[in-house]
Structure 1
Amino acid sequence: MAARAAEAAGDGGNALGAFLRARRELVRPEDAGIPVRGLRRVPGLRREEVAMLAGVSAQYYLRLEQGRDRNPSVQVLEALAGVLQLDAESTGYLMELGRPRTRRRATRPAERVPAGTLTLLDTLNVPAFVVNRYRDVLAANPLAVALSPLMAPGTNRLIALFTDPQAAVYHPDWEQNTAGVVAQLRAEVGTETDDARFQALVGELSLKSERFRRLWARHDVRRGGSDTGVIHHPQVGDLDLRREKYAVVGADGLLLVVYHADPGTDSAERLALLASLTADGQRTGPR
């Protein structure tokens, strides 16, 4: 199990090959125009079928999957993207994997939430928090913590989502939510899979969560943006909220995440009630 987790974290040192193999296994032969006769021993397309459809030799495609040729031409990558039925985001990700790797800087600057962003958190009347690229919560306003304890500073959102029993309670759309965040992690980390912190995070999640292992093995890629989700709160009930993400200028990789409800909806009323309860608790609680 530990070996499998380590391989998942670093894709076995062959990110391009791992991606091609995973996406190949997700394409049904009939969707690629290949008639199915009898029992097939492998899920999805065979290597030789991908090679034929992409117009390359089977030996060359095998070298790509095995990591013996890691810099294919743009034309080959575009052909493979078409065969594997990749969307625009996944195609862009494939292009990044196929480019010559440059030396990654050994260290990153210390992560500090700018003072202005901390002030903004305190003044916002909606739940908001700041995370780094690994989903560590670095700062949060009281309303965010009141909305969900999984938004408290010091929490890793990914680990909590996959391992904390409260996550499935607070997120009725947990299945969809988990699939989305894994695809976003793939997109945001990109080709920097040799990042030690990233490897440790993926390794820990792979050991602790079977669902994470399955989702990570799919190699789905999706950029995160504005979306909606439901949070079940034990005091005020279900809230259908929008989630926005904003890059913190001058802080590499930090995101400000804001939850809000459409005006005039039941969720807006419930969020206002939660804000009132949170403010009352701050006034009457210990100083």
Structure 2
Amino acid sequence: MQTQPHQRRELGAFLRSRRERITPDQVGLPHTGRRRTPGLRREELALLAGISATWYTYLEQGRDIRASDQVLDALASTLRLDRYERGHLFQLAGHTPAAEPEEPAPLASEVAAVPLLLQPHPAYIIDGNYDVLSRNQATDELFPHLTAADGRANFARWVFLEPAARNVLVDWEIEARGLLARLRTLAGRHPGDPRYTRLIDELNAGSPEADAWWPQYDVQARHGGKKRLRCPGRGLVDFAYTAFHLAEQPEQTLVIYSDNNRESAD
């Protein structure tokens, strides 16, 4: 598949960010004195991956060249990418079809009603760009001011731009970094989609942390897990949350929170 200029620039920046986090010691290279840049040099990475240093430089510079599956596998192995990062690498290199920009599908009324049925457990449905499509009252209580002054509810905006988020999310930096990595992964599937570019520009403009972390090119898939949250009238509570992708719209995700204390009281 033909890649676009902005996609090739993203590929080069992603490769550079991963090259800079690998130290010579990690790959068995000898010390060669003081280094001007962190991580591996381009020629060192190319040697370890078994490819031409000039060709790799062109790839990192975003030139219009095509990397084979074998080359991408070699780079992923040398850079020690996890499976999400490897998938992101192949996506940027044009080895999987990129989705065309399109308006999100409307949420069916019966699907939108699901979070309401899950009350009193906080539950909501989000789109790929973290717009909140449906939620119940428990969600509003747990995440105050989720709806911004412009009437939009978006979890990425809430985490980075709403001051209350830093009080609610006990481990704010961990949660914020994870969300940004997941947004990076989803945005990579929709190169040029204005829904993502507008949101990313807004986060970078309004949050020094987002502006500093976005160029690090961390990627991560959506998943369940645990969170420590401060709840009104209850203090610090450990929540478990589970994410379910909707069958017909896989980027629309139902998220449900639960905690043992509430369940035992019920």
1:64 paired with 2:62, answer no
1:113 paired with 2:111, answer no
Structure 1: unaligned runs, 5 residues or longer: 1-9, 273-287
Tell me which residue corresponds to 2:94: 99
Please state how far the C-alpha of 1:70 moved relative to its aligned partner: 4.1
2:141 to 146, 151, 169: 146
**How many residues end up aligned between the 2 structures?**
258
Q: CA RMSD in A?
A: 2.3
Letter in 1 for 2:11: L
1:243-277 superposed Cα distances (whole Å, 9 cap, x missing partner)? 11112233463211111123xxx46468x6xxxxx
TM-score by length of 1: 0.82
Change (3 A) 1:78 1:251: closer
1:236 to 220, 234, 237: 234
Q: 1:122 and 1:88 mapped to 2: Cα distance?
A: 35
1:47 paired with 2:42, answer yes
**5 Å matches for 1:1-287?**
14-99=9-94, 104-109=99-104, 111-125=105-119, 126-152=121-147, 154-251=152-249, 253-262=251-260, 266=261, 268=263
Please state how far the C-alpha of 1:84 moved relative to its aligned partner: 0.9
Select between 177-186 and 99-108 the one with higher mean Cα deviation.
99-108
Q: 1:106 and 1:194 mapped to 2: Cα distance?
A: 7
TM-score by length of 2: 0.88
Q: 2:95 and 2:79 mapped to 1: Cα distance?
A: 22
Larger C-alpha radius of gyration, 1 or 2? 1
Tell me which residue corresponds to 1:282: none
Change (3 A) 1:150 1:79: farther
Tell whether the 8 Å contact from 1:226 to 1:243 is kept in structure 2 after alignment: yes
* SS, match of residue 180 in structure 2: helix
Letter in 1 for 2:186: E
Please state how far the C-alpha of 1:103 moved relative to its aligned partner: 7.2
Over the matched positions of the two proteins, sequence identity in percent amounts to 33
Tell me which residue corresponds to 1:6: none
Please state how far the C-alpha of 1:72 moved relative to its aligned partner: 0.3
